[in-house]
Amino acid sequence: MNNGPAPQHPHPGYGQPMRFAAPGYPGGQHPIPYRPVSRSRPALTRSQKTAALWAGAIGFPIMSLGLAIVITLLGWSAVIGLLTAVASQLDDTSADAARMLTEMDMIWSDYWWIFALVLLAGLVVWAIGYGASIGIAKIGNVNKAAGATWAGFGIASCAGFVLMWLGNIVYLMGAAVVAMLSSDGFGGASLIFNIVFVVLGIVVWAGAGALSWWWMAHCLRARHPAQRYASEPYYV
C-alpha cells in the first residue's frame, strides 16, 4: 500500500545543530548542540617502546661516532689547508716555512688515500648506526621509523652538547679529587677513574639516545583508525 512519498529530512551541514520536532518549542523544533567526539591516540605498545629505546641506545652512539670521525677529519683538513694557503701567499716566507709547505705537499701527495679511507670509514660507521636504528624500529613496528630516527638524532645531538659540557666539569672535578686522594698521583687510581668515566659516559650517551628516540616514537605514533577522517577531531 503506497501512502505517498516519504517526508524529506535534509541532513544538516558539518558542525550545524540537528533539529527534531518536539512539543513545547516554537515551530516544533528543538536544537541539539553538536558535540565532537574526542579520541586520544593509542599509546605505544610494549614492543614499540622497547624497540624505540633500543634503537636510540644503539643507533645514536654509532651514528655519533661516525659523524665525529667525519667532522674531525674535515675540520682539521680545513684548518691545515687554510694555514697552508695563507703561508704560501706571504712574501717574506722563511726557509723553514717553505720547507714545511713542501713537506705538507709531499705528505698529501703520498698519503691522500688515508684521508679518503678514514672519511669513508666515518660515513660507513654512520650508515651502520642509521641502518641499525631503522631496522630495530621496524622490527618493533614503530610508526614512521625513519622520521623517528632523524628527529631523535637531532634532539639527542642537542642534548649531547649539554651533556658534554656537564661531563667536562664533572671530569675535571673528579680528576682533581682523585689526584689529591691517591698517593701515586696520576698512576693506577687515575687510570681506573678514566676507565669508569668513559664507561659511564657511554651509558649516559646511549641513555640520551634512547629517551630521544622513545619520545619521537611517542609523538609520531599512529592515530586511532577513526581519526583518519577529517570530521573526527583528535587530541594528542
pLDDT tens digits for range 100-132:
777 777 777 788 888 899 999 999 999 999 999
Query: Across-strand partners of 202?
Result: none
CA atoms in the 13 A half-sphere facing the CB of 97: 12
Taking the C-alpha atoms of residue 28 and residue 200, their distance in angstroms, rounded to an integer, is 75
Contact indicator for 193, 184 with CB cutoff of 8 Å:
no
pLDDT band, very low/low/confident/very high, at 83 (cuts 50, 70, 90): confident
Distances (CA, A) of 34 to 11, 173, 204, 229: 13, 63, 50, 17
Provide the pLDDT for residue 134: 96
66 closest CA partner among 136, 126, 154, 142: 126
Q: Which helix (H) or strand (E) holds 31?
A: strand 29-32
Cell numbers of 217, please?
616514537
- Cα angle, residue 138 at apex, residues 134 and 143 outer, rounded to 5°: 100
Cell numbers of 88, please?
704560501
55 closest CA partner among 142, 161, 125: 142
Contact indicator for 208, 156 with CB cutoff of 8 Å:
yes
Q: Is the pTM of this model over 0.85?
A: no
Residue with grid cell 687510581, as numbered in its chain: 189
Answer with the residue of higher pLDDT: 200 or 80: 200
Q: What is the mean pLDDT of residues 76-91?
A: 77
Taking the C-alpha atoms of residue 229 and residue 14, their distance in angstroms, rounded to an integer, is 13
Q: What is the pLDDT of residues 150-160, one digit of tens each?
A: 999 999 999 99
Taking the C-alpha atoms of residue 54 and residue 60, their distance in angstroms, rounded to an integer, is 10
Provide the pLDDT for residue 20: 47
What are the sequence ranges of the domains in the chain? 46-222
Asked if residue 88 has pLDDT above 80, the reply is no
Residue type, 48: Q
3-state secondary structure of 183: coil
Above pLDDT 70, what percent of the chain?
71
